[in-house]
Amino acid sequence: MFKGSFTALITPFKNGNFDEASFRSLIDFQLVSGTHGLVPTGTTGESPTLSHEEHIKIVEICIEQANKKAPVIAGTGSNSTEEAVYLTKHAEKAGADAALVVTPYYNKPSQEGLLQHFTKIANSVEIPIVIYNIPGRSIVDMSNETMSKLFKINNIVGVKDATGDIPRVYFTKNDVGSEYNMLSGDDATTLAFMAYGGHGAISVTSNIAPKLCSEFHSLCMDKKFHEASTINDKLMPLHRALFLESSPGPVKYAASKLSLCSSEVRLPVTSISDSTKKIIDVAMRHAQLIN
C-alpha cells in the first residue's frame, strides 16, 4: 500500500526541450526532503504534451535517479486504451513500482467503458494500478460500484481521488473496502481526506515544499491531526495559489523562485500573469519558503 506524500513531479523544460539535469536535481531535492514517493509523467508533468520518446525517457530517468529510495508511480494513462497499455507495459519493464492511470478524457466513456478500459490495462501487466479519478479534467466520474468491480482484479489497488469530495472518502472506504488504497489528488482538502481515512496524497505543492508536505503526512499517518493542521495552515495559501491558473504554470513559477528549474511550460498551458505571481510570492513567504 502506498502511504504519505507522493510528489506529482513537474517536467522541467529549457528552450522547448526536456531539461534532464533540472529533473534529476528536482528528484534529489525530493528525496533529501523526505518525500514518500514520486509520480512522473502525470498531469502536473504535462503528459498530454510529451512525445512518447520523452514520456519513456522521463519515466526511466525518474526510476534511475530515485534508485529505490522512494517508490515511483509512473503516469501511464491515455484516452486511448491501446496507448495506455503500451505506456503501462513500458513502466513495468522500466521498473516502476506502480502505474497511475487516468480515466479517459474527452471520450466520455460509460461506466462499462471504464470497466473494460481498466480491465484491459490491468490484465496486460502485473504491477499495481492506481486509478486516477479527476472529473474536472476528464469529464467522467468513476462510480464506487465500478471501482468495486475493478478492485476484484488483483493488481488494481486503489485510487487517486481528485474530486475534492471529502465525504466520498468514507463511502469509498465502505463501498469498495478498507484495503483500497486511497490517495488524495487535491492538496487543499488533504487534511480532511486523511482524517476520513485516506492513506496519502499525490501532491502538486510538494514539488516546492516537499519537507513540509512529508512532515504533514507523517503526522497524519500517526493520527496527530492537531499538529498536522499547524503545517496545513502554513501551506493552505500556497495550495490555493498554485491553482489560480492552469497547472502546472503556477507551480513551475514557484519552482523557478527556488531555482529548481525554469518556469517554462508548453502550449496550450501558458506562463502565469504578474498578478498571480504576486499572490504566489505572498503564499511562499507565508510558508517560509522564501524571504
* Domains with residue ranges and CATH for the chain: 4-225 (3.20.20.70)
For residue 89, the 8-state DSSP code is H
Average pLDDT, the chain: 97
3-state per-residue secondary structure call for 136-197: HHHCCCCCHHHHHHHCCCCCEEEEEECCCCCHHHHHHHHHHCCCCEEEECCHHHHHHHHHCC
pLDDT of residue 1: 82
pLDDT tens digits for range 155-174: 999 999 999 999 999 999 99
Give dist(CA 67, CA 65) in Å, integer.
5
Q: How buried is 34 (Cβ within 10 angstroms: 0-12 exposed, 13-18 middle, 19+ buried)?
A: middle
* One-letter identity of residue 55: H
The pLDDT tens digits of the residues spanning 207-243 come to 999 999 999 999 999 999 999 999 999 999 999 999 9
- Taking the complete model, does pTM exceed 0.85, yes or no? yes
Q: Which are the catalytic amino acids?
A: 132, 160
Give the model confidence (pLDDT) of 19-40 as tens digits.
Answer: 999 999 999 999 999 999 999 9
Distance of CA 156 to the CA centre of its chain: 17
Phi-psi region at 60: left, alpha or beta (left = phi > 0; alpha = psi -120 to 50): alpha
Parts of the chain with a pLDDT under 50: none
- DSSP helix/strand/coil, 11: coil
